[in-house]
Amino acid sequence: MNQKKIIIAVISLSFLSFAWIGYVTFNPDQENPGMVRFISLNDLSSVTESERIRLGGRISAGSIQISKQNQLECDFGLQQGELTVPVNFLGTRPDLFKDDAEVIVEGHYVNEKFVADQLQTKCASRYEGDLRDDSSYNVESI
Amino acid sequence: MIPVLGSISLSLALGLSAISIFLFSVFLKNADYRFFIAGWRGAVAISALSILATFLLLNELLISNFDISYVAHYTSIETPTFYKITALWAGQSGSLLFWLFILSVYTLIVLFQYKNSYTRLMPWVIIVLVIVQAFFLVLVNVIENPFSPTNADFVVVNGNGLNPLLQNLTMAIHPPTLYLGYVGFTIPFAFAIAALITKDTGSVWIRSIRRWTLIAWLFQSAGIILGGWWAYQELGWGGYWAWDPVENASFMPWLTGTAFLHSIIIQEKKGMLKTWNMILIMITFTLCIFGTFLTRSGVMSSVHSFAVSNLGPVFLGFIAIILLVGTYLVIDRASILKSEKRIESFTSRESGFLFNNVIFVVICFAVFWGTIFPVLSEAVQGEKITVGAPFFNQVNVPIGLLLLLFTGIGPLLAWRRTSKEALIRNFTIPILFGIAVFIACFFLGIRETTLISFPLTGFVAAAILIEFHRGTQSRSKRFNEPFFTALKTLISRNRSRYGGYIVHLGIVFMFIGFSGHAFDSELEFAMKTGEIKEFDGYKFELVSITPTERPNHIAWIAGLNIWDQENQLVTRLFPEKRVYFHKDPNPDKRQPHSELDIHSTLVKDIYTIFSGVDMEQQIAYLKIMINPLVWWVWFGGYVLIFGTMIALWPVKEH
């Protein structure tokens, strides 16, 4: 008899837990959501100001402007193919932040400007990339 | 020559695996022992060849043979010898070979240790192990051959070198430790499958794998903790756990493995939960393979994953096979997996174990769900949604606290049924202690989740210490031993039980550390030399910025004096801004890196990052974080490892 009750308890506990996981999935914390949409620049116009989103792209060359008042603040253009969106970022810039670097930013789209509070650069390609360096020479030249 | 030998060894091993499986199937059919011996020898040869291939690759790494693509990509002439060795697991194909290497070492131990025991199980155990080896042999032979030659129309004078982030002692130890864990679960899995196939599902296979599971679990735990330690010391974002897909990948089998370690105790003692144990170990092993897949396939973008590759379908295929065969076996053998006894009461150790198991599996599912959600949402809705740490924290904090609660309750319950008197006797002091901690926390102004987590840690710690105290007291009375002698004999006579309690204590300490996260604070700012900045009760004075040149990098060292409110010097910290390969004419190949500096105490860590420098104006860009109680996470880790070692230590045979 008790075994049945225990099994019912176990099943209810699991059910409650799954309900909880589902609840968090579909009602994330508004202030600090764990689930963020990754958006392409084409769909940017449909985003409301209150929604926290992510954008990925390339820093358009020559667009980086570091604020005179606060060295931690900068503006740059984030490029995705033909489209570019102005981005404002306040915080420590990663080591690999420079022209043409691939970056992912997270924040809000306000008044046609993306205000980011998180910025990541894609990892250095040195360790997966081309082996050629200045001391390499072609086989034919030997 | 040597690369060719390496490739040949791997091909031979793959061929032998087919032969070995064939020999075993003949043995199973006609019971001619000579076929068993032949198959066994084949299995030994597969492992030996795989180990040989690994040493051959190691040799090429050490002599810097850049004609091998792997060597050229992950080492350079300047790479220190020690890191030439660790480059073995720095990249894709090398790490797959390394997986195979560890599996081969484990397999050899099993082959020799049990050659003449478990006669019914062994042929199947070996077959399963050989199949897993064959899977990895296919990978390193066909898809990612570590010996494949450098593909370039020029002579590679020097290799790329090992990422400086990986040139760190912890990073050298963390991957192999984790691998020893991941791979270790293959052995219990092989025994489980063998037990199902031979219909010998009693306690024999459980006894044979308890120790193996514990070893795998020990390495898995240590690997995860070391990974966190490395992230905290090197990556410079101030945390040790980011719920990154690859971290999750190592955490999921740990969760189900932990559940398995607990539930096999019930099967050993009571003959219950047989089906459940089979499912758990299969899930654990599948998650190990899935974890390797996540790390290696590039499906998830993460700091850990290597370049995108075509390993994905092969891994998914293998996982599908494991799940199909496993499910079939469990369903087909359902009648012999019936429990011998029933759970009698809610207040029994059995039901405690059962609830703890459910919670472990639920946490595992939550982590799994969050990890694959981006892929799912893209497939279903065509929209990529990224899942970050806030989701995992929000979901797992309440479930984790429930688990902590059960860590305290479980050991206080008796087998079968706990009487009312015993309940009162066992729970009074821990509950009172928990309430005392709650009141203290409340008056200290602690609120929200930590107002629950601290009292819970108090409750569990008290429950564990009382277990030790009671056991010791009764020994000391009965045998008239002094307290510490009694404690020592108590532990050494019941190693797995008290070792387990010490592990629980380690977990309690870690939870104290996790709770500290709620009080983290940070500040980013720029300051000139000579300036002072106040933050969180401290004054940070930038004394100097000193440029230095070292063999493979240049560094700017920020000299920081940290004063408290009474103007007493707390500590001096020297975070560095470095640029590796600074002599490389191509600026894209130079690699900046921030080497942080931490002042760690029992109460809080002062964590300083030197993120940028302007030498002309003598300005340093700094990020300072105050991270309370992090020390307890590492201390808990040591206690956990110590406890597991006690549980593992062989008992002297009389």
Confidence of residue B652 (pLDDT cuts 50, 70, 90): low
Within the 304-343 window of chain B, which residues sit less than 8 Å (CB to CB) from chain A?
A: 306-307, 342-343
State whether residue B401 sits within 8 Å of chain A by CB.
no
pLDDT at B219 over 90: yes
Angle between helices B245-270 and B204-230 (to 10 degrees): 150
Cα B388 to the center of its chain, rounded Å: 20
Closest CA to B245 of B71, B94, B369, B424: B369
pLDDT on residue B653: 58
> Residue B619: its chain A contacts at CB < 8 A?
71
| pLDDT digit string, tens, across residues B46-82 | 999 999 999 999 999 999 999 999 998 888 888 889 9
Find the residue in B nearest to A23 (Cα). Answer: B395
Among the ranges given (B298-312, B462-476, B575-589), the one the predictor scored with the smallest mean pLDDT = B298-312
| pLDDT digit string, tens, across residues A96-139 | 788 888 888 889 998 889 999 888 776 543 344 455 444 444 44
pLDDT at B193 over 80: yes
| pLDDT digit string, tens, across residues B142-156 | 988 999 988 777 777
* CB B260 within 8 Å of CB B357: no
pLDDT on residue B384: 78
pLDDT on residue B388: 85
What is the residue whose two structure tokens read 């199973």?
B28
Cα B427 to the center of its chain, rounded Å: 33
pLDDT on residue B224: 95
| pLDDT digit string, tens, across residues B171-181 | 788 889 999 99
pLDDT at B304 over 60: no
| pLDDT digit string, tens, across residues B264-275 | 988 888 888 889
* CB B339 within 8 Å of CB B272: yes
Confidence of residue B589 (pLDDT cuts 50, 70, 90): low
* CB B147 within 8 Å of CB B9: no
pLDDT at B303 over 50: no
* pLDDT: which is higher, B257 or A93: B257
Query: B327: Cβ–Cβ under 8 A, 6 or more apart, which residues?
Result: none
Confidence of residue B298 (pLDDT cuts 50, 70, 90): low
Confidence of residue B132 (pLDDT cuts 50, 70, 90): very high
User: Distance between CA atoms of B564 and B569, rounded to whole angstroms?
Assistant: 7
User: Distance between CA atoms of B517 and B585, rounded to whole angstroms?
Assistant: 43
User: Distance between CA atoms of A91 and B189, rounded to whole angstroms?
Assistant: 48
pLDDT on residue A4: 85
> Residue B612: its chain A contacts at CB < 8 A?
92-93
pLDDT at B549 over 50: yes
Token digits of residue B648: 């593992």
Hey, how many other C-beta atoms are within 10 angstroms of the C-beta on B148? 13
pLDDT on residue A124: 41
Average pLDDT value for residue range B308-328 = 87
Domain boundaries A37-124, CATH class: mainly beta
DSSP-based three-state secondary structure for B523: strand
State whether residue A45 sits within 8 Å of chain B by CB.
no
**C-beta pairs of B25-31 under 8 Å, 24+ apart in sequence:** B25/B127, B27/B123, B28/B123
Pick the most confident of A38-52, B407-421, B493-507. Answer: B493-507
User: Distance between CA atoms of B623 and B610, rounded to whole angstroms?
Assistant: 7
pLDDT on residue B419: 86
Q: Specify which residues B149 forms β-bridges with.
A: B68
H/E stretch holding B605 reads strand B604-614
> Residue A134: its chain B contacts at CB < 8 A?
585-586
pLDDT at B594 over 60: yes
* pLDDT: which is higher, B562 or B77: B562
State whether residue A26 sits within 8 Å of chain B by CB.
no
Please give, one letter per residue, the 3-state secondary structure of chain A.
CHHHHHHHHHHHHHHHHHHHHHHHHHCCCCCCCCEEEEECHHHHHHCCCCCCEEEEEEECCCCCEECCCCCCEEEEEEEECCEEEEEEEECCCCCCCCCCCEEEEEEEEECCEEEEEEEEECCCHHHCCCCCCCCCEEHHHC
pLDDT at B381 over 90: no
Running DSSP on this structure, what letter comes out for residue B237? S
* pLDDT: which is higher, B607 or B339: B607
CB spacing of A136 vs B156 below 8 angstroms: yes
pLDDT on residue A122: 62
DSSP-based three-state secondary structure for B183: helix
Mean pLDDT of chain B: 90
Average pLDDT value for residue range A5-21 = 90
| pLDDT digit string, tens, across residues B97-128 | 999 999 999 999 999 998 888 888 999 999 99
